[in-house]
Amino acid sequence: MSYSPDRAVSTILFSAAHDIDTWGLVKDDFYDNIDGGYDVCGAIANGSGLSFDDWHDQPTPCSDGEDPAEHASWLVSRAASLAALRTLLAHVYPDTRPEEMGRDALIVKAGEWNDQPDRTEAQVVAKLREVATDTVKTWLVWSNDARTWWGPNGSNCTGDLWDAGRYTREQALEACGRRSWKEGKQPPEVMVAAPEDGHGEQLTVEEFRHADRWMELRVEDAVRRAIAERTTAEVSS
């Protein structure tokens, strides 16, 4: 499976959104050790496999050379987390040129956005997912009616995630917009980020806004099982 920075950023932002949605949003701090919850910087750090202390320049547990490979992996994780911060800030503060900011400036600016008094948890989660989906390059289309994935080029349906058609964002949006549905009802089709291109279990907020929770869980479970089966097969081979 190939790796790209876009996929890393998408995965981190989806994970950050999930953590805040699950544990709550905190302000004026990276992490609430008593009640749980994260601000965007803490959630992005956690989504990168880091702790909030890893934002700083203090020595890491493996920076003394005892495990160079582990230290190199840590540096890659922190670089990916900073890329995720820059991607978020490019959307919420497009005039600030986050690509030119260092680590401290990124954290301060993201904290300012997070800590605005009228900024709600729902807004933060929605923005993280919106930015994450913008970085995803490959999409699948799930049919609620047939309970199957669309095949390549919109032809045939398949129950196998790995045989499902791969679509660009524009193609998937078009597929999901072909048929209308009533407010509060399940949409006929929904977009799902391909598992090889970010968090496969995550759906876009916009395309899934009216779907029932049980349907969301059904699709998430289908993707998780497919990923687990593929992983098991790869390990066994």
pLDDT of residue 194: 74
Encode pLDDT of 18-35 as tens digits: 889 889 999 987 666 566
Q: Determine which of 7-16, 92-101, 148-157 has the lowest per-residue pLDDT on average.
A: 7-16
- With a cut of 70, say whether residue 99 has pLDDT above it: yes
Encode pLDDT of 30-56 as tens digits: 666 566 789 999 899 888 888 766 665
Output the pTM of the full model: 0.59
- Which of the two residues, 190 and 25, has the higher pLDDT score? 25
Query: Taking residues 114-137, what's their average pLDDT?
Result: 87
Encode pLDDT of 173-182 as tens digits: 778 777 766 6
Q: How confident is the model at residue 119 (pLDDT cuts 50, 70, 90)?
A: very high
The string of DSSP codes covering the chain is ----HHHHHHHHHHHHHHHHHHH-B-SSSSB-TTT--B-HHHHHHHHTT--GGGGSSSPPTTTTSS-HHHHHHHHHHHHHHHHHHHHHHHHH-GGG-GGG--HHHHHHHHHHHHH-TT--HHHHHHHHHHHHHHH---EEEEETTTTEEE-GGG-SEES-GGGSPPB-HHHHHHHHTSS---TTSPPSEEEEE-TTSS-TT-B-HHHHTTS-HHHHHHHHHHHHHHHHHHHHHHHH-
Q: Determine which of 112-116, 163-167, 200-204 has the lowest per-residue pLDDT on average.
A: 200-204
pLDDT of residue 1: 27
Across the chain, what does the average pLDDT equal? 74
pLDDT of residue 56: 56
- Which of the two residues, 82 and 145, has the higher pLDDT score? 82
Query: Taking residues 206-232, what's their average pLDDT?
Result: 52
Domain boundaries, the chain: 5-120, 139-236
